[in-house]
């Protein structure tokens, strides 16, 4: 994990200090490679709606599909468990198949995919606080939430006190999306 973060940070430094499109292309390729490393085909499911009783003390079941070799995915699972979720972590060989099964478009993808008992999806490093909030009151026509890529400082992506602001996206059943929350600092995640 530390080596991946070093490579990402080095690539980001090069991008900031260079206008070379080759470096941007290399960084994009590396990101896709990192995401695809985290991937078993599964059958289609439909999404149901309805809030669950997700009071603070009640454990909420999630199934998280991840790569056995992805450390940040396990750290996110630990985060969710510590925040009162009951996470069934499934190591799979084909994360792309999981993302396809649950309709996660490439621009919304990250390294792991979590699914609630009522088939809402939570893509990537979505803070458990917002998963719980969503499940307590699912917006109409919503499929779930996504934190695309792997923002530094998001749950599971902690590196010291470093933090990159990010957005939690609301995924709609029709394929559109909106902003569910803007995370400007690490404290907003808890």
Q: What is the CATH number of the domain that holds 81?
A: 3.40.30.10
Tell which residue, 76, 166, 60, 151, has the closest CA to residue 112. Answer: 76
Report the SS3 class of residue 88.
Answer: strand
Which structural domain, as residue segments, surrounds residue 179?
A: 38-46+60-189
For residue 110, is it within any domain? Answer: yes
* Per-residue pLDDT, 58: 72
Nearest CA-CA partner of 71 in 125, 123, 10, 126: 125
Domain count, the chain: 1
pLDDT in tens, 93-107: 999 999 999 999 999
Residue 33 falls inside a structural domain: no
pLDDT over 90 percentage in the chain: 69
Q: pTM of the prediction?
A: 0.73
What would the pLDDT profile of 25-83 be if each residue is shown by its tens digit?
333 433 433 433 343 333 323 333 344 444 445 789 999 999 999 999 999 999 999 99
* Residue 165, in any domain of the structure: yes
Q: Does the residue 107 lie in any domain?
A: yes
> How far apart, in Å, are the Cα atoms of 54 and each of 57, 80, 128?
8, 13, 12
Does any domain span residue 150?
yes
Q: What angle is formed at CA 160 by the lines to CA 20 and CA 128, rounded to 5 degrees?
A: 95
**H or E stretch at 26:** helix 21-37
> Is 52 part of a structural domain of the chain?
no
Sheet holding 113-116, edge to edge: 85-91, 60-66, 113-116, 121-124, 142-147, 166-172, 177-183
């Amino acid at each position: 994990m530390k080596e991946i973060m070093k490579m990402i940070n080095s690539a980001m430094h090069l991008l900031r200090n260079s206008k070379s499109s080759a470096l941007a292309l290399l960084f994009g390729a590396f990101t896709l490679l990192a995401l695809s490393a985290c991937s078993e085909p599964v059958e289609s499911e439909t999404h149901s709606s309805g809030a669950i009783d997700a009071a603070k003390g009640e454990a909420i079941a999630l199934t998280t599909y991840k790569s056995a070799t992805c450390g940040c995915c396990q750290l996110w699972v630990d985060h969710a468990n510590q925040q009162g979720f009951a996470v069934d972590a499934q190591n799979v060989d084909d994360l792309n198949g999981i993302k396809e099964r649950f309709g996660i478009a490439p621009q919304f993808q990250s390294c792991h995919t979590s699914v609630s008992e009522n088939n809402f999806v939570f893509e990537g490093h979505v803070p458990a606080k917002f998963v719980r909030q969503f499940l307590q009151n699912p917006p109409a026509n919503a499929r779930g939430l996504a934190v695309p890529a792997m923002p530094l400082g998001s749950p599971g992506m902690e590196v010291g006190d470093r933090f990159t602001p990010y957005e939690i996206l609301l995924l709609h059943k029709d394929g559109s999306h909106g902003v569910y929350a803007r995370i400007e600092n690490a404290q907003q995640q808890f």
